[in-house]
């Protein structure tokens, strides 16, 4: 799927914090969407959790810093961190270069597959995204 200049692979799940998830069995690989990357600017630092950390859906569990801001990363699903992308420690710009590939952030072993029902896919996500981008642009116009 595409929306304006942003790419959204069809097979992924998305949330309203602009993160994506690729599901393989009970493991969810997670990262930033192309819109989040564009909004953040160049990612300069990623604070990753340790494997084994328990996380709760929609709660922050790591942070990312760009030249513009420091942002929290919210869990797509509840579970345990299985793996972190250690390359991001040395090359955080992998998120900018390939947000759906080499720029993945963490792999989570989900504890409740029902969490996926809270995420968006396909047209439902595109409809929400269109409204969200319009809202953000309007806020930028009012503030700037």
Model confidence pLDDT, tens digit, residues 10-55: 899 999 999 999 999 999 999 999 988 988 899 999 999 999 999 9
Does residue 1 belong to any structural domain of this protein? no
Q: Is residue 82 part of a domain?
A: yes
Please report whether residue 15 resides in a domain. yes
Sign of CA dihedral 111, 96, 134, 143: positive
Residue 12: which of 121, 88, 101, 102 has the closest Cα? 121
For 88, residues 6+ apart whose C-beta sits below 8 A from its C-beta are: 46, 48, 94, 95, 103, 105
CATH number of the domain at 99, please: 2.40.50.100
CA angle centred on 34, ends 42 and 74, rounded to 5°: 85
How many domains are contained in the chain?
A: 1
Q: What is the pLDDT of residue 67?
A: 82
Its pTM stands at: 0.90
| Range(s) of the domain holding residue 98 | 10-143
């Amino acid at each position: 799927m595409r929306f304006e200049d942003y790419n959204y692979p069809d097979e992924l799940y998305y949330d309203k914090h602009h993160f994506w998830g690729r599901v393989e069995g009970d493991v969810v690989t997670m990262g930033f969407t192309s819109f989040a990357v564009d909004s953040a600017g160049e990612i300069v630092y990623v604070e990753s959790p340790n494997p084994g950390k328990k996380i709760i859906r929609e709660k922050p569990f790591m942070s990312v810093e760009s030249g513009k801001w420091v942002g929290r990363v919210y869990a797509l699903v509840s579970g345990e961190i299985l793996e972190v992308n250690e390359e991001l420690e040395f090359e955080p710009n992998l998120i900018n270069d390939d947000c759906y590939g080499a720029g993945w952030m963490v792999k989570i072993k989900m504890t409740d597959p029902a969490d996926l029902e809270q995420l968006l896919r396909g047209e439902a996500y595109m409809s929400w995204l269109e409204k969200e981008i319009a809202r953000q642009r309007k806020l930028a116009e009012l503030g700037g």
